[in-house]
Every structure is written in structure tokens, then in C-alpha cells.
Chains A and B, each alone.
Chain A
Amino acid sequence: MIPEYSLGLFAAFATAAVAFYALVRETDDLHRLLLTDLVEIVTLAFIALVGTDLAEALILPGLVVGISELIALSEIYRVKEGHIHPPRKGLRIEVMDSAPLIMAAILVGYGIVLSGFPGGAIAGVGVIFYFICRGQHERFELIETASGYSWVLWIVAFFTFMLFPQYWFCAVMLAGGAILVKVMAKMSLIGAMRGGPNA
């Protein structure tokens, strides 16, 4: 009987070899970008095979670095190839005109009720959906300013926990609200990726 870890390691090495072979043979840049994603997936399998909390702790930053790398590379590719004209709006779907307002309202409302990090994520999804469907003409410096102030409030709540533990409830509420605004502001930037006056 072959041990589980050895078998997994063998499979992971085989897939990594296939992925890197494809990357070496490829000449088209956008195909290379797609293959970079494949390499990321198969090399994450190496870490996942460890199968402990350590693996989980290593996969999370790996994923975050992977997505930021992908965004940066795609922007470099776009500028390098000289694609500076934003794509025309080709597809008209009626539900994308009528649904965003109520969907965003429900998601943001539920996110505020949840508060904290998950609440920020849910409210952020609502904002992304709205921006993608309706287009955005907001001034993003304003959203970034709100994000900065909410970060300060989060730190203030942290110090309240340390110095005045008797006011813990106020600090919890402050931290929950502040991280909600922070995460929502950061996620709403994704909705601006289709290009626009301020993107």
C-alpha cells in the first residue's frame, strides 16, 4: 500500500511538470497568463497535501498574492498590447438595469446587520454588483478617505480594549462598524474594473 502523502506528492509533481511544460512551449502572452493560473492551482496542491492548520495558513496568503499578481500582470499585458480603448457595451440585459438597486439594497442592509468582516464582504458584493451593472461615476478618493478613517476607528477600538476594558461593548461596536466600512470600500474597487471616468 502506497502512503497517501507519497501518492499525492507524485501526482502533484506530475501536474506541475505538465503545467510548466505548457508554460515553456507557449508563445502567446494571454495564453501564458492563463497558464500562470494553472501553475498556481497545481502548486497550491503541494501545500494542501500537508493537511494541517499550517497548510491552511500558508494557502491563504498564497491565494491573495496570486490574485494580486494576476491583476497586475493583466494590466501590464493590456498596456503593453496598447489596448487603451474601453470595450463597447455590447450586451444589453434588462435585468441588469432593474435588479441592481434592490439587490444592492438587500445585500448592503444584511451586511450592516451582520457587521464585522463577513458583513463587509456581503455588503461589498452588493456594491460590486451595483457598480458592474450600472457603471460608476463616484469619486473614489471619497470612498478611500472613508476607508482610511474607518481604519483609524478600528485602531481606536483596539486601544479601548487594551486601556479601558470596561468599555468593551463600545469597542466591539466600533470595531465591527469600522471593519465593515473598510472591507466594503476595498471590495467596491473591484466593481470599477470595467473602466470608467475615475478608474
Chain B
Amino acid sequence: MNGVFILGLAILIIGAVSVTFARPKTYLARLINLEIPGWGLLLIMLAYDEGLALLTFVAVTAIATFVIVRVMEWRDAA
């Protein structure tokens, strides 16, 4: 059992709680908090040497952020 794995689990739990009980409860605060559990998952993947999954997750997270920001932009324009 290594440190990276334990750290990943801890950050995953902290991140899930911080997204659920985000203060202030705005879209942007939640979106930024979403990065925390993402980091936890990345550390868990790193602990098990899942390199390809890790890189794909990074790319997909970037696109997901882009999609959500776009929806928020359209929402503000209305």
C-alpha cells in the first residue's frame, strides 16, 4: 500500500464532499471544485500505472470543462 494511493483516496473523498456542499453554491464554484475529485482519480490511476486511461481522462476533463462553460455562457446571454 503506497502513499500515492492513500492520498488519491483521501482527495477523492474530500473532493466529493466539497462539490456536494459547495460554498457559495454557484455553478462556477462547483465547476472549480470538480477538479479536486478529478485529481483524486488521477492519483489512483497513477498508483496502478494506468497511463493511457490517465491521459485520456485529462483530455476528456478539458473538453467537459469547455462544454459546461459553454452552457453557462449561453445561460448568461439569455
- Decide yes or no: A8 and B44 within 8 Å by CB, A21-B20, A22-B20, A190-B63 being known contacts: yes
A21 CA to B74 CA, complexed, in Å: 28
- Decide yes or no: A48 and B44 within 8 Å by CB, A18-B16, A193-B70 being known contacts: yes
State which size class the interface on A falls in. 35 or more
Query: Chain B's interface: helix, strand, loop or mixed, by majority?
Result: helix
Of A76-84, A103-111, A145-153, the one contacting chain B is A76-84
The answer on a CB contact under 8 Å between B16 and A66 is: no
The answer on a CB contact under 8 Å between B9 and A7 is: yes
The answer on a CB contact under 8 Å between A85 and B78 is: yes
Query: Chain A's interface: helix, strand, loop or mixed, by majority?
Result: helix
The answer on a CB contact under 8 Å between B37 and A41 is: yes
- Decide yes or no: A87 and B74 within 8 Å by CB, A15-B13, A56-B52, A59-B57 being known contacts: yes
Which has the most chain B C-beta neighbours within 10 Å: A1, A8, A33?
A: A8
- Decide yes or no: A74 and B70 within 8 Å by CB, A11-B12, A22-B19 being known contacts: yes
**Contact mask B1-16 → A, CB, 8 Å, 1/0?**
1000100010011011
B34, B50, B64: which contacts A56 (Cβ < 8 A)? B50
A18, A194, A195: which contacts B20 (Cβ < 8 A)? A18
The answer on a CB contact under 8 Å between A85 and B77 is: yes
Residue of chain A at shortest CB distance from B77 = A87
In the assembled complex, how far is the CB of residue B36 from the closest CB belonging to chain A, in whole angstroms? 10
A116 CA to B37 CA, complexed, in Å: 33
